[in-house]
């Protein structure tokens, strides 16, 4: 491959990721996850995540360099997630990136994590069409983006007003007695009747569509599932986990896919890119494929390992920025936990 040789560092949540790309070619993607350390707390604990990043950063960097068979002196730049994410987690990656940039005398690029989830698709499917709508669904975010230029012009057209989609999966899994992180467990458990219970579809009523056409809400759904399960248990009845999981999953995926299709039509996009951990969900993929095919919309999904948080996505975005002659960040750039 050709193009700039970029090292990417990601540390916004519980994954320490180091990626190396040359243009659109992936050379290395090493991820160290602290998810195991958060399991007993049922969710990511920021302080635990920060410490884990600190311990994992250098070994992960060493593995990536060995795997890519490059010398750091050859780099054209270092890209790092500047936000959004957990403040204490972001600063570890940023400090590492600054140290490397300073020691190696290379330009530093502080980038947006969400834009990275979009840019990573370049490594699998090449240049993005303009416009392109992206649906990002993970434990930390649920957004619909209009991508006009991956390096310079991404607009958020909708997002969740409460819980992220993955967060809803994780909370409902707990209600159903399934382990954390709950998404993959619910996906596997959802073998029952998708129409067993009609759970609420947040922000889809005509009055909600006026102001929240492309926004999401999952907290009412989560509460509805919890109430339903509690009522069953109070009556001493067994909980039909396969049916409840399937019905919950249908409510989430129905809304995500309907709004994504609506966004593509509203913005004249023939392509829908999906990313984030929940993009691995089997029902979401099936529903999107069905609805996209009916509307002549092409789906672009990076391979699963690139959908979850990783360093390659940050390197891919850095490479696009460098290719367009983007300006490097100053070495005193800060972390922005709620970067838009």
Binding site for ligand KG4 (CB under 6 A): 13, 138-140, 166, 169-170, 181-184, 187, 276-278, 280-281, 308-309
Q: Is 112 in the site for Zn ion (CB under 5 A)?
A: no
Which is nearer to ligand KG4, 187 or 215 (by Cβ)?
A: 187
Q: Is the peptide bond before 131 cis (omega within 30 degrees of 0)?
A: yes
Closest contact distance (angstroms) between CB of 244 and ligand KG4 is: 15
Closest contact distance (angstroms) between CB of 103 and Zn ion is: 28
Of these partners, Zn ion, ligand KG4, none, which one is at the site of residue 190 (CB under 5 to 8 Å by kind)?
none
Which is nearer to ligand KG4, 65 or 180 (by Cβ)?
A: 180
Is 71 among the annotated ligand-binding positions? no
Which is nearer to ligand KG4, 5 or 253 (by Cβ)?
A: 253
Of these partners, Zn ion, ligand KG4, none, which one is at the site of residue 169 (CB under 5 to 8 Å by kind)?
ligand KG4
Q: Which of residues 260-319 bind Zn ion (CB under 5 A)?
A: 309
Closest contact distance (angstroms) between CB of 224 and ligand KG4 is: 18
Is 243 among the annotated ligand-binding positions? no
Closest contact distance (angstroms) between CB of 85 and Zn ion is: 8
Is 54 among the annotated ligand-binding positions? no
Residue nearest to Zn ion as judged by C-beta position: 309
Q: Is 15 in the site for Zn ion (CB under 5 A)?
A: no
Selected binder of Zn ion within 16, 81, 112, 138 (CB under 5 A): 138
Contact 28, 68 (CB under 8 A): yes
* CB half-sphere exposure, 29, CA atoms < 13 A: 20
Of these partners, ligand KG4, Zn ion, none, which one is at the site of residue 311 (CB under 5 to 8 Å by kind)?
none
Closest contact distance (angstroms) between CB of 113 and Zn ion is: 6
Of these partners, ligand KG4, Zn ion, none, which one is at the site of residue 281 (CB under 5 to 8 Å by kind)?
ligand KG4
Crossing angle, helix 241-266 and helix 282-295, to 10 degrees?
Answer: 40
Is 187 among the annotated ligand-binding positions? yes
Which is nearer to ligand KG4, 18 or 75 (by Cβ)?
A: 18
Q: Is the peptide bond before 79 cis (omega within 30 degrees of 0)?
A: no
Closest contact distance (angstroms) between CB of 1 and ligand KG4 is: 26
Closest contact distance (angstroms) between CB of 159 and Zn ion is: 13
Crossing angle, helix 219-234 and helix 165-175, to 10 degrees?
Answer: 10
Is 137 among the annotated ligand-binding positions? yes
Which is nearer to ligand KG4, 23 or 166 (by Cβ)?
A: 166
User: Interface residues with Zn ion (CB under 5 A)?
Assistant: 138, 309
Summarize the annotated binding site for Fe cation as residue ranges. Answer: 113, 117, 309
Summarize the annotated binding site as residue ranges. Answer: 113, 117, 136-140, 170, 183, 187, 281, 309
């Amino acid at each position: 491959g050709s193009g700039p040789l970029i090292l990417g560092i990601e540390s916004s949540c519980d994954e320490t990721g180091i990626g190396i790309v040359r243009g659109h070619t992936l050379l290395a993607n090493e991820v160290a996850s602290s998810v195991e350390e958060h399991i007993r707390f049922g969710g990511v604990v920021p302080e635990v995540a920060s410490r884990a990043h600190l311990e994992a950063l250098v070994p992960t960097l060493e593995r990536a360099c060995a795997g890519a068979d490059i010398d750091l002196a050859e780099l054209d730049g270092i890209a790092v997630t500047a936000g959004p994410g957990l403040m204490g987690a972001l600063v570890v990656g940023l400090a590492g990136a600054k140290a490397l940039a300073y020691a190696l005398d290379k330009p530093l690029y502080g980038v947006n994590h969400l834009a990275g989830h979009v840019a990573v698709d370049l490594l699998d499917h090449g240049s993005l069409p303009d416009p392109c709508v992206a649906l990002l669904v993970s434990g930390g975010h649920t957004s619909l983006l209009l991508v006009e230029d991956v390096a310079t012009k991404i607009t958020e057209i909708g997002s969740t007003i409460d819980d992220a989609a993955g967060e809803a999966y994780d909370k409902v899994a707990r209600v159903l007695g399934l382990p954390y992180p709950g998404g993959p467990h619910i996906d596997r458990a959802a073998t029952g009747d998708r129409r067993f219970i009609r759970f609420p579809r947040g922000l889809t009523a005509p009055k909600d569509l006026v102001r929240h056409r492309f926004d999401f809400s999952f907290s009412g759904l989560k509460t509805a599932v919890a109430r339903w399960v509690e009522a069953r248990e109070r009556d001493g009845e067994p909980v039909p986990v396969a049916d409840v999981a399937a019905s919950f999953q249908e409510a989430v995926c129905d809304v995500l896919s309907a709004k994504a299709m609506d966004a593509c039509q509203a913005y004249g996009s023939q392509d829908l890119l999906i990313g984030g951990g929940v993009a691995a969900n089997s029902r979401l993929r099936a529903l999107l494929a069905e609805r996209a095919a009916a509307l002549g919309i092409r789906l672009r999904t990076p391979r699963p390992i690139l959908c979850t948080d990783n360093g390659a996505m940050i390197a891919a975005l850095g490479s696009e920025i460098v290719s367009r002659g983007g300006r490097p960040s100053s070495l005193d750039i800060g972390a922005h936990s709620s970067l838009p």
